[in-house]
A and B are shown apart, each in its own frame.
Chain A
Amino acid sequence: AQTVTQSQPEMSVQEAETVTLSCTYDTSESDYYLFWYKQPPSRQMILVIRQEAYKQQNATENRFSVNFQKAAKSFSLKISDSQLGDAAMYFCAYTELYNQGGKLIFGQGTELSVKP
């Protein structure tokens, strides 16, 4: 069975600095998607970035980028120029390429705080 692990329950960063959140996963599949979701205090799940496993290039969305290491099954999120609005719970998630039902497997989450 696939699993997703986030080993950092909490992280802290100074405003304008860079922070990296870690995620590892386990799967026997070769084609899949990985995601980072942000959950602010409002509880809304917001998609931050996604990565297709068959693409070697790391995904980037403005200040957010990933370091996807397929062989190591690692998928870290880098937030550059951190802003107060980045403070939230961040979840790493996995889904198979042609999964039935859109099923996501989530990590435990990392609580990110941003210090002014």
Chain B
Amino acid sequence: NAGVTQTPKFQVLKTGQSMTLQCAQDMNHEYMSWYRQDPGMGLRLIHYSVGAGITDQGEVPNGYNVSRSTTEDFPLRLLSAAPSQTSVYFCASSYTPGTSGQETQYFGPGTRLLVL
């Protein structure tokens, strides 16, 4: 198992550009989520999904879009990048309730994004 994978590892954008951060998992997890990490603030939830076709907003959703067409993939889209979106982005996945270990999130290696 590759676990949770993210691409790219590092990206530089100019203000106003758009891009998609990719996330995939091969553990057949129903739940997937995106977090951003900023200095001194821990990780904050952007968007999450409880299954294919179902997504919802987290704590800091503005400026980001998501979709979940398959169980494996959960891309995060920045429509018009802003310097405030400079951050490290983590994708995570977990099992659904009722499954042993469902409460444990598995994280990808992160994507570092710099918006100039």
For A, the interface residue count at a CB cutoff of 8 angstroms equals 29
Which of the residues A37, A45, A97 comes within 8 Å of B103, measured between beta carbons? A97
Cβ-based interface call for B92 (8 A): yes
For B, the interface residue count at a CB cutoff of 8 angstroms equals 29
Q: How far is the CB of A23 from chain B (nearest CB, A)?
A: 11
Interface hits, A58-116 → B, CB 8 Å: 91, 93, 95, 97-109
Pairwise interchain contact B31-A45, C-beta atoms closer than 8 A: no
From B12-20, B39-47, B75-83, give the one contacting chain A.
B39-47
Looking at B56, B58, B97, B103, the one whose CB has the most chain A CB atoms below 10 A away is: B103
Alpha-carbon distance A100/B103, docked complex (angstroms): 10
Pairwise interchain contact B48-A106, C-beta atoms closer than 8 A: no
Cβ-based interface call for B50 (8 A): yes
